[in-house]
Amino acid sequence: MAIDKVLVGVIGGSGLYNLGNLTYVGEINPLTPWGYPSSPITISSLPSGAQVAFVARHGKDHTISPSAIPARANIAALKSLGVSTIIAFSAVGSLREEIAPGDFALPSQLIDRTKGGRPTSFFDGTGLVAHAGFSDPYSPHLAAWLTEAVREALKDEGRGVKLWTDKTLVVMEGPQFSTRAESLMYRQWGGDLIGMTALPEAKLAREAEISFALIATATDYDAWRPHEAGVTAAEVGKILRNNADTSRHVAAHVIERLLAADKALLAEESGNMRFAFMAAPGAHKNAALAYILPEYFEAA
């Protein structure tokens, strides 16, 4: 089967290394100006025939640590396939009693606690300065639409998985989990969830004019609860398989409906960079920027 223009991309995190519930079409490994993506991108088709692109952010065998994920290559590779909307999944710890392991959440805000120098912009080293708006890190219309669509998908699956919305996700560097003091501090800051990979992914999607939403899947209670041992990878691992099965169901259900929904939803971020540049982009020929934003840049 031929690979068509793919409008929706999925990024899988811990435990979610494939969309094996869809029909396999092929694999493609684009070399972007920022290198290769974390893993070759799998193209699969939905029952309607529409195609979806999937990338495993830690690699298919989970060999890439959160600090080393080639996020620019992942986003650029998806964009090169025609992707205008990404739905990303991320395993997270819960900083709130009411958000239990096994629950799903749509975060609306992020707090950046990464500090290992992950590249966060496509414009680094290009000589062009761009300031993308990031007050709402996830595309608001897409997130609002997803609330109902994900709820419906979870109901349809029938396992009784709960969905939380409007939560604040703290993104830490890792790979070690937080100390108890840090975990308690994040709660005081208003954090509801904690993970290691949501940034810079969301920033890069915004720069690439891709609509982007994150579905967070809770695996543990992090380290803030008194009298508990604290989080371990083994504890997280126990819940990953169920969360991944539910994520696959949600992805298939939601993307099928998204492709049939108002086309404006898929293009929510289109044009958002037009006023972000500090110097006229037309005057700036750059092959890397042309790869990600051909609307504004030409190859040199």
Ligand X SMILES: CSC[C@H]1O[C@H](OP(=O)(O)O)[C@H](O)[C@@H]1O
Ligand Y SMILES: Nc1ncnc2[nH]cnc12
Known binding residue 273? Answer is no
Nearest approach in angstroms of CB 15 to ligand Y is 10
- Whether the CB-CB separation of 276 and 132 falls below 8 Å is answered with yes
Given 103, 124, 156, 222, the catalytic residue: 222
Q: How far is it, in rounded angstroms, from Cα 34 to Cα 80?
A: 12
172 is in an annotated binding site: no
According to the annotation, is 144 in a ligand binding site? Answer: no
The verdict on 12 binding ligand Y (CB under 6 A) reads no
CA atoms within 13 A on the CB side of 276: 22
| 206/221 Cα distance (integer angstroms) | 30
Which of 197/211 has CB closer to ligand X? 197
Contact assessment for residue 253 and residue 156, using Cβ atoms and an 8 Å cutoff: yes
Cβ-contact 117, 67 below 8 angstroms:
no
- 177 contacts ligand Y (rule: CB under 6 A): yes
Q: How far is the CB of 287 from ligand Y (least distance, A)?
A: 36
d(CA 70, CA 118): 9
Specify the residue, 249 or 286, whose C-beta has the smaller distance to ligand X. 249
Closest CA to 10 of 68, 51, 65: 51
Binding partner at 191 among ligand X, ligand Y, none, C-beta below 5 to 8 Å by kind: none
What minimum distance in Å lies between the beta carbon of 11 and ligand Y?
15
For ligand Y, which residue has the nearest CB?
A: 93
3-state secondary structure 76-93: HHHHHCCCCEEEEEEEEE
Show contacts with ligand Y in window 85-144 (CB under 6 A): 91-93
196 marked as binding residue:
yes
Angle at 234 between CA 230 and CA 240, to 5 degrees: 105
Q: Which does 93 bind (CB under 5 to 8 A by kind): ligand X, ligand Y, none?
A: ligand Y
Reference 171, options 187, 150, 194; nearest CA is 194
191 neighbors 170 (Cβ within 8 angstroms): yes
Catalytic status, residue 222: yes
# residues contacting ligand Y (CB under 6 A): 13
55 binds ligand Y (CB under 6 A): no
The binder of 220, among ligand X, ligand Y, none, by C-beta within 5 to 8 A per type, is ligand Y
Report whether 65 belongs to an annotated binding site: no
Name which of 236 and 255 has its Cβ closer to ligand Y: 236
Peptide bond into 107 cis (omega under 30): no
Which one from 124, 156, 220, 245 is the annotated catalytic residue? 220
Q: Which does 13 bind (CB under 5 to 8 A by kind): ligand Y, ligand X, none?
A: ligand X
- Please give the residues from 192 up to 251 whose contact with ligand Y meets the rule CB under 6 A: 194-196, 219-220, 222, 231, 236
Annotated binding-site residue? 262: no
| Whether residue 156 lies in the annotated active site | no
DSSP three-state, residue 117: coil
| Contact call for residues 44 and 107 (beta carbons, < 8 A) | no
Annotated binding residue at 91?
A: yes
* Binding site, annotated residues for phosphate: 14, 57-58, 90-91, 197
**Which residues sit at the interface with ligand Y, rule CB under 6 A?**
91-93, 172, 177, 194-196, 219-220, 222, 231, 236
Q: Which residues are known catalytic residues? A: 220, 222
